[in-house]
Chains A and B, each alone.
Chain A
Amino acid sequence: MQFSDTFLEASQSMGANRLRTGLTMLGMIIGVASVVLMLAIGQGAQALVTESIASMGSNLFIVLSGASTAGGVRMGGGTVPTLTYKDTMAIGELESIAAVAPMLPNSAPMVYGSNNWTTQVVGTTSEYFEVRDWQPSKGVVFTPTDLRSANRVVLLGQTVVNHLFGDEDPLGKILRIKNNPFTVVGVLSSKGQSLDGRDQDDTALIPFTTAQRKVFGNQFPGMVRYAMAKATSAEVMTAAEAQMNDLLRQRHRIRSGMDDDFSIRNLTALAQTAQGATKAMSMMLGAIAGVSLLVGGIGIMNIMLVSVTERTREIGIRMAIGARTFDILSQFLLEALMISLSGSLLGVILGVTIAWLVATSFGMNVVVTLTSILLAFGVAAAVGIFFGFYPAKKASALRPIEALRYQ
């Protein structure tokens, strides 16, 4: 028997009972659609996390000044100004550290024309752009002169630009921060949300010296709120942390056995945890969807078994007129395979459509990859063969005289 004939026989019997074929296929359609959809949602979430991590910058540390204790009440990190500008410069000297930026953030109202907006204004140095892997989309970063002379220049995040300037080009315009006039020298490229959902573009950067001397005053001269440091590579992260720890203990003259007056946080480890969590979530979604695929496969087996019983006499006739075991086996197997494959094709279409609808109407981040489609398709085909084999084997093992006698 030629393959084209087997195909014809299988499609004829599929067409003979359309409702049943359709319902069996529905199991496959739902299974495959949910696999495609769940993988799309999972991978969307993963992509979002990966993007946030990339936007944060890689191999990052945050160095915070220590906690104060007043009358037994511990005030929490950053309450005692123990970290100095000089400390950060010393950290920058370490060979495992690629760049370090002092950070002096403060909330401040900004006014341009009739618009005003209050945001986090950060005093920092030009190394900040290297630490965060963040470059202006327009204009320039601070020059050494800006830092040395404490010039009133500012780089704006995209959100601030939108609120203060609308469609106007902010470059070269003068706005006021706490009533000090600042010239906009650059606009930062958009970074979107951070891992914890904050808008990273709602910020303005001014030179560290300007912030200290001209905007936020000078409660503790030379102090920074915290510093951001970037290691030269992922491999030296542990070494870098140890080196910074030693350096700061030495500089702060902390004797052994006494607590640190600073703390160092490894942001990359945090990011990896988040990435691992979303990956686990997306695998779990895929596994749940896989169960429905399995249920669809069992549906196919169920229907094929019914079909074999129902068509026992037909099988007997076919055998009497010369059908071999393999002819019967391949006919029923192909029928199961065709149901599962056409079901998965429709399932992929349905899954992609729903993913698209979810993305457009709920603004959810979904990523449909070719791999996930092929995976769903491949699993469906395997399910079809696996669950189609037993009924087909059963049909082909019938004895012709008994099959012919079957009423």
Chain B
Amino acid sequence: MGDILIQATSLTKDYALDEGEIVRVLHGLDFTIESGEFLAIMGPSGSGKSTLMNLLGCLDTPSGGHYLLKGEDTAAMSPDQLASLRSRKIGFVFQGFNLLPRKSLIDNVALPLVYSGVPRVDRERIARAILEEVGLGDRLRHRPGQLSGGQQQRVAIARALVNKPSLILADEPTGNLDTKTSEDILALFDSLHQQGLTIILVTHEPDVARHADKILYLIDGRIDRLVVNAHAIQ
């Protein structure tokens, strides 16, 4: 803990509308995230949460300013360099799980390893171990469609973990789940956090955000406030 994982300086993002008009979604954000932190990003819809998430996840490049992930500046990267960075450093968990429906659980979890060039024998072993860790070791050959939403999200988390990323990005991970299952998933995030992983979670539910150490409030593409001791909020 302590070393800086993410550094954003005057981060902006513009989108061009069809009429040629340019809309600024993020207005020069400055913040740093240290390794091992659990940060929640909150804000009303249209506040730029998803846009920020795409930038943090290296799915998109900023229009202005700099985003440094472990000291690597993404601003000037090609799509393939971004892909390589995602493959090595980031694990994604989506609201809609985004598993490949035709692949077995173990193949879904092993897919990131395919793209990072891990040999097949090792892939099987690593994916199996992680699925056992999230409690699905007995369903390796099932398809995602045969599982409940909570179980599918566990598989997605296993997939996010498989490349030993520096950062887990979760976009509304409990948005499609009932309260009970949400608590289970959040407990899983808590335990990952305890193991020292850095987690960034986008949500609009205060109950979910409360699991994080810090909460970043975004309003209209600007940082409204940063709450440091999130657990204390009632």
Interface of A toward B, CB cutoff 8 Å: 1-2, 4-5, 12-13, 16, 313-314, 317-327, 399-401, 404
Contact = CB atoms under 8 A, between A and B. Distances in A.
A322 B60 contact: no
B31 interface: no
From A319, A320, A327, residue with most partner B Cβ within 10 Å: A320
B80 interface: yes
A322 B54 contact: no
B53 to A, nearest CB: 10
Contact of B83 (A5, A16, A314, A319): A319
A2 B117 CA distance: 7
B86 A325 contact: no
B117 to A, nearest CB: 7
From B94, B111, B112, B114, residue with most partner A Cβ within 10 Å: B114
B80 A324 contact: yes
Contact of B111 (A16, A321, A324): A321
Interface in B51-65: 54, 57, 59-60
Given A5-B114, A318-B115, A322-B112, 19 more contacts: A1-B114, A1-B115, A2-B117, A5-B120, A12-B102, A16-B102, A317-B99, A319-B59, A320-B92, A320-B98, A321-B112, A321-B115, A323-B115, A324-B79, A324-B83, A325-B80, A327-B115, A401-B54, A404-B98
A320 B83 CA distance: 7
Contacts, number: 62
Contacts of B102: 12-13, 16
24 contacts: A1-B115, A12-B102, A13-B102, A313-B98, A317-B99, A317-B100, A318-B115, A320-B92, A320-B98, A321-B86, A321-B87, A321-B111, A321-B159, A322-B83, A322-B84, A322-B112, A322-B116, A324-B79, A324-B83, A326-B80, A400-B59, A401-B60, A404-B59, A404-B94
Given A1-B115, A401-B54, A322 B98 contact: no
Nearest to B116: A322
From A13, A314, A319, A400, residue with most partner B Cβ within 10 Å: A400
A401 B52 CA distance: 12
B163 interface: yes
A16 B143 CA distance: 14
Contacts of B99: 317
Contacts of A320: 57, 59, 86, 92, 98
A207 B87 CA distance: 94
Interface in B108-138: 111-112, 114-117, 120
A2 B113 CA distance: 11
B86 A322 contact: yes
A324 B115 CA distance: 8
A313 B120 CA distance: 25
B87 A322 contact: yes
Nearest to B83: A324
A12 B114 CA distance: 15
A217 B163 CA distance: 106
A326 B84 CA distance: 12
From B57, B59, B88, B159, residue with most partner A Cβ within 10 Å: B59
B115 A317 contact: no
A5 B112 CA distance: 12
A4 B114 CA distance: 10
A1 B99 CA distance: 19
A399 B163 CA distance: 22
Nearest to A400: B59
3 smallest A-B Cβ distances: which pairs?
A322-B87, A322-B115, A321-B112
Contacts of A318: 111, 115
A266 B95 CA distance: 86
Nearest to A398: B79
Interface in B192-222: none
A326 B103 CA distance: 21
A324 B81 CA distance: 8
Contacts of B60: 399-401
Contacts of A319: 59, 83
Contacts of A399: 60
Given A1-B117, A322-B112, A323-B115, A317 B98 contact: yes
Contacts of A16: 102
A284 to B, nearest CB: 46
Contacts of B163: 322
Contacts of B83: 319, 322-325
Contacts of A404: 59, 94, 98
From A4, A16, A324, A326, residue with most partner B Cβ within 10 Å: A324
B59 A321 contact: no
A15 to B, nearest CB: 9
A326 B80 CA distance: 9
Interface in B134-172: 159, 163
Nearest to A13: B102
A56 to B, nearest CB: 65
A314 B98 CA distance: 8
From A2, A5, A317, A326, residue with most partner B Cβ within 10 Å: A317
Contact of A325 (B79, B92, B103, B111): B79
Contacts of B57: 320
A308 to B, nearest CB: 15
A322 B84 CA distance: 6
A393 to B, nearest CB: 13
A395 to B, nearest CB: 13
A325 B54 CA distance: 18
A241 B57 CA distance: 88
Nearest to A314: B100
A5 B111 CA distance: 10
A164 to B, nearest CB: 76
Contacts of B87: 321-322
A317 B109 CA distance: 12
